[in-house]
Amino acid sequence: MTDLPIEAIDYLTRQHRALEQLLGLVLPEEDPAQRKQLFDRAGDQLTVHLKAEEDIFYPAVKASRTEDILLESLEEHLSLKRLLADLLAMAPDEKTFEAKFKVLKEQTEHHHKEEEENLFPKVRKLMDDTVRQELGQKMAELQARLKRAGEPREAVVNETDSAAPLK
């Protein structure tokens, strides 16, 4: 944890890169136990990221100019959660794990690109730096809390029916 203010867009963008990097390590790892460990870590990171966006970032940036993008983003989150929930129930050395994992990785990268190209530039115009720093701080606190509670990835299993509402 840092005491420096964390600007929300910068914070989320850095998490995108970190998650992509971690996802890139999973399939090249051939030892099933190690692969599972990497995958679980990626699942936790993805889950706390989605949570921070759904509970804090998206509601805060909701405006007429962003609503369509946010609704589409929430549907993409749902798709990611479904893939993650499926994968958590599979053995990491199954052939179908690899196929499904590739879809998760591709969809995650696509989703990051959409947020960074379509959503974040609008948010930058809508909100000043101070507000974005407050949001970053709130997200960091929520994520720390979820991580302390242990294995945040397990929560997605109960969130696969429908997309989170836009609050």
In the complex, what is the shortest distance from the CB of residue 91 to Fe ion, in angstroms, rounded to a whole number? 28
Q: Which is nearer to Fe ion, 26 or 119 (CB)?
A: 119
* CA 133 – CA 117 distance, rounded (Å): 20
3-state class of 63 per DSSP? coil
How far apart (Å, rounded) are the C-alpha atoms in residues 167 and 60? 9
Separation of alpha carbons 13 and 139, rounded Å: 13
CA distance 86 to 103: 12
- 159: contact with Fe ion by CB under 5 A: no
Backbone phi, then psi, for 13, in 5-degree steps?
A: -65, -40
Which span sits near Fe ion by CB under 5 A: 4-12, 64-72, 101-109, 126-134? Answer: 4-12
> What single letter denotes the amino acid at residue 148?
R
CB of 166 to Fe ion, least distance (A): 12
**Residue 62 C-beta: closest distance to Fe ion, Å:** 14
Residues 106-135 that bind Fe ion (CB under 5 A): 115
> Between residues 13 and 37, which has the closer beta carbon with respect to Fe ion?
13
Q: How far is the CB of 30 from Fe ion (least distance, A)?
A: 29
Site string for Fe ion, 30-69 (x = CB under 5 A): -----------------------x----------------
Counting residues that bind Fe ion (by CB under 5 A) gives: 3
Q: Output 6 or 36, the one with its CB closest to Fe ion.
A: 6
Alpha helices per DSSP H over the chain: 8-26, 32-52, 58-61, 67-88, 95-114, 120-126, 129-149
d(CA 59, CA 70): 9
Nearest distance from C-beta of residue 61 to Fe ion, angstroms:
12
Q: Are residues 119 and 69 in contact, defined by beta-carbon separation less than 8 angstroms?
A: yes
Residues that bind Fe ion (CB under 5 A): 12, 53, 115
